[in-house]
Structure 1
Amino acid sequence: MRTIELKLQGYRLTTAEILYHLPDHPGLLQSFIWQDLDMAPRFPVLNKFLKFWDMSIEGRLHSVRIAARGIISDAELRMAGGEFVLN
């Protein structure tokens, strides 16, 4: 599907910070940033990626932090603090 169609269906730009244990040094953590369009709150695309990670990548997951922001949203309008008249 095209990106704009996904956005109109409610997909959001989702960023996940994935902390994982280094395979050679399990006491050390490494950070990985993942970003894609996904649908909150279930995040099916991110879950699919995390399942792939768990099955294919040696680094054991420590934690995942997620931030999601709708790209298409209502306009935010505010009244100005003053009025200016030009002659």
Structure 2
Amino acid sequence: MLVSPEFRKQLEGYGLTTAEILYYRPDAPSLLQTYIWQDLDIFPDFPTLRRFLDFWTRKLDGPLHSVQVAHNRLIKPAEFVMRDGTYTIN
């Protein structure tokens, strides 16, 4: 059975990263526009997002205003909580 590259990344610690990028429109520099970027990346360094933003600043015309980042690991260690008592379910 083959495992997808995305699943392998998740096992290596990558998590779903979403960035809201605000940038100035090249044709109307006084206006801001939003771009949503999403990919698997590693917290807290975000190398994949940094490569994308480096590409943006080198190749695209719209200068960046700000970037907000949200991150969540999709595969986490199991969490167990010990409870006192015995419960009977009929």
TM-score bin, normalised by smaller chain: 0.7 to 0.9
Superposed CA RMSD in Å reads 1.7
Q: Secondary structure at the match of 1:41?
A: coil
Unmatched tracts of structure 2, length 5 or more = none
Query: Where in structure 2 are the equivalents of 1:6-85 lying within 5 Å?
Result: 6-76=9-79, 85=89
Unmatched tracts of structure 1, length 5 or more = none
Residue 74 of structure 1: how far off its partner (Å):
3.0
With the length of structure 2 as denominator, give the TM-score of the two structures: 0.83
With the length of structure 1 as denominator, give the TM-score of the two structures: 0.86
Q: Identity of counterpart residues, as a percentage? A: 48
| Aligned position for 1:2 | 5
How big is each residue's C-alpha offset from its partner over 1:26-62, in whole Å with a ceiling of 9 and x where there is no partner?
Answer: 1110000000000111100000000100011100000
Q: Which runs of 4+ in 1 moved over 6 A?
A: none
Q: Secondary structure at the match of 1:10?
A: coil
Q: Secondary structure at the match of 2:76?
A: coil
Tell me the number of residue pairs that the alignment of Structure 1 and Structure 2 aligns: 83
